Amino acid sequence: MQKFVNRKNELACLESQYNSTESSFVVLYGRRRVGKTALIVEFLKTHSNSIYFLATEESEPQNLNYFKSQVADFTGNELLKTATVDWQTVFKALIDYKTETKKVIAIDEFQYLGISNSAFPSILQKIWDTILKDANIMLIICGSLVSLMKSQTLDYSSPLYGRRTAQINLKPIPYKYYHEFYDTKPDDNLLPFYAVTGGVPKYIEMFQGYVKEDFYKAIEDNILNEHSFLFEEPYFLLQKEVTEIGSYFSLIKAISMGNHKLSDIAANLELKQTGLTKYLKVLMDLNLIERDVPITEKYPEKSKSGLYRITDRFITFWFKFVYPFRSFLERGEKEYVLEQIKKGFVQNYLSFVYEEICREKMWDLSSKGIWDFRFERVGRYWGGKIGEIDIVVIGEKSNAIILGECKYSSSPKGLSVLHELQKKKDAMQKLTNANDVRYIIFGASGFTQGLIEEASKDNTITLIESEFPSYL
């Protein structure tokens, strides 16, 4: 059974909508397997006067019959089961049935209703305006095809535009809650598992039995195995969202192999930059990639320094280590592919995931009061003579910044890491107008005695150590 973890903010949003004195209309959407249904089910546990309806890819009349049957059971209206009715009549029967507490109507995989009948959003709009809006009910519509959910419910052109009272774009579980899936301590190093599964509950569930046993065996069994659903998962994620799946696969592969500038992506694909714009926009709308700019940019949307990065951890891993070796896997050479993963996993992949987690960790450290100023932005910097800085924090309404490095390796880090950061101090002060500079270094295998002693004498230096797992 899939374990329910976190989602406190999302549950609080749903509770707030439920407690409204007026009807509420919540749109819930997100990628497949991210836990949307689990969120609805968890919410409905404390609200018994509810109907959960899962739409299917069958015809609209079939879905209407299924919904009608559920409403008939809920209301005890036996005549409704055999009556020939439309959607409006069924909703009217549901609203007319009196309950002591507010009724909740949850429609999952809503987009299938719009696929079977393109006019269904208009039908629901009429039902909302004439029946539901003034009935003090809660309507939740949920879907996993992000592009369709946006076009059917959120876009300005949708008949339902402006009706929603809240929307939840459900994202993967953040790393700081990851240990709750495995019943381990918060400090246990599960980063390699996270780097493969991301925060997608269904993927995490498949790796639960391998913690601290055989990490690479988990990859072999659950991803490289041609009978595992993860073997071709990216195809299923994209095939209903886009029409030119080959073009999108080529683009994602180019980014996963280290081509982050628009010019580099275009050169890799032997295409003009202008021809990539629409594909990149679609992938950003699907929350699969993002455009990142140096933290010091005042006008990010106009920046020429933007880099495109894949945001989905499993997608990144699959395109980096599985997709390029499909021909070997199809010939049954799993051992060879697994050996290539072992060779490149830490240095070419995990170290970059570690940087992302360290940047996320900065907000948690800030909330503990480690620094005497609040953060405005946390990001990174690259460009010019300064080069790259893994972590840059700009203080809120202050002249303070933090410069940081993240080192994920099996050897302790020493004074040279600090000295490299300190060399960039003057240039970063000019860019940010800061006169108060602090430093932070994350090390997966600790620090040399020299660096520890230096940090003990200088309160502008913070060292954060994490364990480098033995199973790597």
Residues 6+ apart with CB under 8 A from 4: 35, 38, 42
Indicate whether 392 pLDDT > 90: yes
Reported as a single tens digit per residue, the pLDDT across 107-140 is 999 999 999 999 999 999 999 999 999 999 999 9
Reported as a single tens digit per residue, the pLDDT across 144-201 is 888 888 889 989 899 999 999 999 999 999 999 998 988 776 666 789 999 999 999 9
Reported as a single tens digit per residue, the pLDDT across 411-439 is 999 999 999 999 999 999 999 999 999 99
Indicate whether 1 pLDDT > 60: no
Q: What is the mean pLDDT of the chain?
A: 93
Q: Which residues of 388-421 are buried (b: 16+ CB within 10 A; e: fewer)?
A: ebbbbbbbeeeebbbbbbbbbeeebbbbebbeeb
CA distance 427 to 22: 55
Reported as a single tens digit per residue, the pLDDT across 273-314 is 999 999 999 999 888 999 999 999 988 888 989 999 999 999
Query: Selecting from 3.40.50.300, 3.30.930.10, 3.40.50.150, 3.10.290.10, what CATH number does the domain 8-169 have?
Result: 3.40.50.300
Amino acid at 320: K
CA distance 14 to 36: 12
Tell me which H or E stretch contains 377: strand 375-381
User: Tokens 């402006």 appear where?
Assistant: 162
Residues forming a β-bridge with 392: 379, 403
Overall fold of domain 179-351? Arc Repressor Mutant, subunit A (1.10.10)
Indicate whether 335 pLDDT > 90: yes
Overall fold of domain 369-465? Trna Endonuclease; Chain: A, domain 1 (3.40.1350)
Question: Taking a C-beta distance cutoff of 8 angstroms, is the pair 468, 409 a contact?
Answer: yes
* DSSP codes of every residue in 174-216: PGGGTHHHHT--TTS--HHHHHHHTT-HHHHHHHGGGTTT-HH
Residues of the chain with CATH 3.40.50.300: 8-169
CA distance 413 to 197: 28
Residues of the chain with CATH 3.40.1350.10: 369-465
Q: Specify burial of residue 229 (Cβ count, 10 A radius: 0-12, 13-18, 19+).
A: middle
The whole-number pLDDT of residue 242 equals 87
Residues of the chain with CATH 1.10.10.10: 179-351
User: Tokens 């949708």 appear where?
Assistant: 158
Instruction: Please say whether the dihedral angle defined by the alpha carbons of residues 350, 354, 355 and 356, taken in this order, is positive or negative.
Output: positive
Tokens of 163: 């009706």
User: Tokens 């006019």 appear where?
Assistant: 119
Cite the DSSP H helix spans in 46-156.
60-75, 78-82, 87-96, 111-116, 120-127, 146-149
